Copies of this chain bind each other. A is one copy, B any other.
């Protein structure tokens, strides 16, 4: 619950940008995956850093939880107000504040989406490379340490956020990081904030590293007789030092769903979708080298996509794969697993997962960012309790196996609500250190409480 006095103070600060309408509360209580509706007590729409700082001071005075909100595309319920309180929706803070082309940086507000950022950058010859598929906001992407299809080449949000402005839990506005290529000056607070899921503060501004738009881009798709052969082709490509900009794997079930949803006709076999960025000559050579390696591993139906419209269609299909898989079983929701393993363990991890899925009698297409060892089983749920339990067991087994292989419970979706129960197993005593940092920076536990760190300590 949120105190009346807090609501009054917030209304006096924000006017009608403090909302308690049922529609608004429900819109900010919804998740894109399987979590139940969890409406907050109120939603704030700040328009400036000063307003965010004001919101934080009011909430601290009244012990009111604060949860940041971007595009609401989290798959792990990051934005759900599980202890009630105020959702701070950043969609009105969505400006590009500055682009410095020579230093390849852009300063943006957290509510801008990655698609709009890249539209605004188009004329500069630069782009922001992190691409989680969903049209998320940059603030949300930073807070969950998002990555996606291009991480194999350009890294994750950890690598692409240069600096942050953050309102900390005491209402102070701090700046972390900078726009130099490197610095050895003190603790890496930017790195600490990226992936902290709003538990240490509210981000009000991001400075991002940009990339030059490649002179040439070539994509291709190819089919393999088995998942393992596709993975082996990728491992060999990496070892050969061929720089892939994207390398995605889809199992036969994912391909079937994509065919149905996107009116495509890929053969029903495991596929790789690959992309190269560089000079005309380099991407041509890399495509050919990759084709040779893929052929050695039994690939068939190698099909290039160099025209922009063909590439756009290809990656749109990949980005819509989650929705395609949901649509393949009308009315279903899903538990989306997100383990990531050392690449040497990837084939084994997927094979054992597929066996678990078959044994449990579940429908769960698998696809992933194979170059990073990160894959998702989309565990479809029909709504029955039995199926949910079976899916949760498969998901937990995937995670236990990934951890035993030196992997992680979440490659890119974050902890949120779904992975909290695996944190102790993954991090051991280091999880307590995370808790100590949280208590030091947010002693009242008001910043997205109930997430990421040990609870009730």
> Which residue of B is nearest A105, CB measured?
B342
- Given that A168-B433, A180-B374 are known contacts, is A103 also in contact with B185, CB under 8 Å in the complex? no
Q: Is the CB of B440 within 8 A of A183?
A: no
* Beta-carbon contacts under 8 Å, A361-407 to B: 371-374, 406-407
Chain B residue nearest in CB terms to A434: B187
**15 intermolecular pairs with C-beta atoms under 8 Å apart:** A102-B235, A152-B181, A156-B184, A180-B373, A181-B340, A185-B415, A185-B423, A187-B434, A187-B437, A212-B241, A215-B241, A282-B282, A437-B437, A437-B440, A440-B440
Q: Which of A145, A173, A432 lies at the interface centre, i.e. has the most chain B CB atoms within 10 A of its CB?
A: A145
Against B, the Cβ 8 Å flags (1 = close, 0 = not) of A154-176 are 01101100000000100011111
Whether the Cβ atoms of B184 and A414 lie closer than 8 Å is: yes
Q: Closest residue of chain B to A241, judged by CB?
A: B212
Closest chain-B Cβ to A148's Cβ sits at a distance in Å of 10
Copies of this chain assembled into the complex: 2
Out of B186, B189, B410, B452, which one reaches A452, CB within 8 Å?
B186
Taking CB atoms and an 8 Å cut-off, the chain A residues in 332-361 that contact chain B are 338, 340-344
**Smallest CB separation, A428 vs chain B (Å):** 6
Instruction: With CB as the reference atom, state the residue of chain B lying closest to A181.
Output: B372
Task: Tell me if A410 and B184 are in contact (CB < 8 A).
Answer: yes
Contact of A192 among B102, B103, B192 (CB under 8 A): B192
B185 engages A409 (CB within 8 Å): yes
Task: Give, as a whole number of angstroms, the nearest-CB distance from A71 to chain B.
Answer: 17
Complex Cα spacing A212 to B188, Å: 28
Knowing A180-B341, A185-B408, A411-B182, the reply to whether A436 touches B441 (Cβ < 8 A) is yes
**A185 with B410: CB separation less than 8 A:** yes
Q: Which B residue's beta carbon lies closest to that of A235?
A: B102
Question: Looking across the interface, which residue of chain B has its beta carbon closest to that of A452?
Answer: B186
The CA of A187 and the CA of B158, in the complex, are separated in Å by 11
* Chain B: minimal CB distance from A386 (Å): 29
Task: Chain B residues near A246: list those with CB within 8 A.
Answer: none
Hey, which chain B residues are within 8 Å of A178, CB to CB? 406-408
Check B186–A434 contact: CB distance below 8 A.
yes
Q: Do A182 and B374 contact each other (CB < 8 Å), given the known contacts A159-B159, A440-B439?
A: yes
Question: Separation in Å of the A175 CB from the closest CB of chain B?
Answer: 6
Of all A-B residue pairs in the complex, the 10 with the closest CB atoms, nearest first, are A440-B440, A191-B191, A183-B408, A181-B372, A102-B344, A174-B430, A180-B340, A103-B342, A145-B184, A184-B414
* Contact A195 B189, CB 8 Å, known A100-B344, A159-B159, A406-B178: no
With both chains docked as a complex, state the minimum distance between the C-beta of A169 and any C-beta of chain B, in angstroms: 10
Number of residues on chain A facing chain B (CB within 8 A): 84
Is the pair B195, A186 in contact by a Cβ cutoff of 8 Å? yes
Mask, A216-239, CB within 8 Å of B = 1, is 000000000000000000010001
Residues on B with C-beta less than 8 A from A414 are 184-185
Distance from A156 Cβ to chain B, minimum over Cβ atoms (Å): 5
| B340 x A183 contact (CB < 8 A) | yes
Instruction: Check: A315 CB closer than 8 A to any chain B CB.
Output: no
- Cα–Cα, bound, A414→B186 (Å): 7
**Closest approach, in angstroms, between the C-beta of A409 and any C-beta of chain B?**
5
Report if A426 contacts B (CB, 8 A). yes
Q: Is the CB of B182 within 8 A of A342?
A: no
- A402: nearest chain-B partner, CB-CB: B180
Chain A 417-456 interface residues, beta-carbon cutoff 8 Å to B:
419, 423, 426-434, 436-437, 439-441, 452-453
Residues of chain B within 8 A of A195, CB atoms compared: 184, 186-188
Contact check, A342 vs B179: say whether CB atoms are below 8 A apart: yes
Structural contact, B423 and A433, CB atoms closer than 8 A: no
Contact residues in B for A192 (Cβ distance below 8 Å):
187-188, 191-192, 437
